[in-house]
Amino acid sequence: MDIQEIRRYIEVGSGYIEVDRSYPEKYKGLCRRIYIRENKIQIDFCTEQDIELNEGETTFYFVYTSFEDVIKSAESFLKKSVSEWTNYNRTWNEWYFPQADRDAYIKLWKDLQSHALDFPHSFNSFYINNYMARGVFLGLINPEDDFEWTVELFEKINELDRNFTEY
């Protein structure tokens, strides 16, 4: 892969390119996908069911000043140069999900809450796509507790949550 191929996918194609796909042993049953977008790195964690339903994944968006900063940060995060990346947009249906650990998302959310997830560096801000993960990150939800979704909880998450600048 090269920079021109990445730019073509972003500017003319789908608006993103998936450059990494892995199955972290710690979160057995989850797939971690990494996308490059214009001025963003996107990291998804999803299960096979999330893919089948086309919903439910937890997504993190890391915003940068420039496309060049995105590439530099992604290379550092992946510990691979662009030339070593794979274009997974071409292989959209090639999936392998190990037997799921039913607590995989709880483990992921606990690591998010304790700031133990491995994320890219040097971003300007980041955003989390779903309320559960945002509530966990903000310390409003303990992923191991039973809790009830209320209007007040949604409002509190919205009040505290905009674009984060620190992790």
Domain spans, the chain: 3-160
Work out the pLDDT band at 48, boundaries 50, 70, 90. confident
What are the pLDDT digits (tens) for 84-134?
999 998 876 677 777 777 789 999 999 999 999 999 999 999 999 888 999
The closest of 166, 117, 105 to 141, measured between CA atoms, is 105
CB 114 within 8 A of CB 59: no
Strand partners, 59: 44
pLDDT at 166 exceeding the cut of 80: no
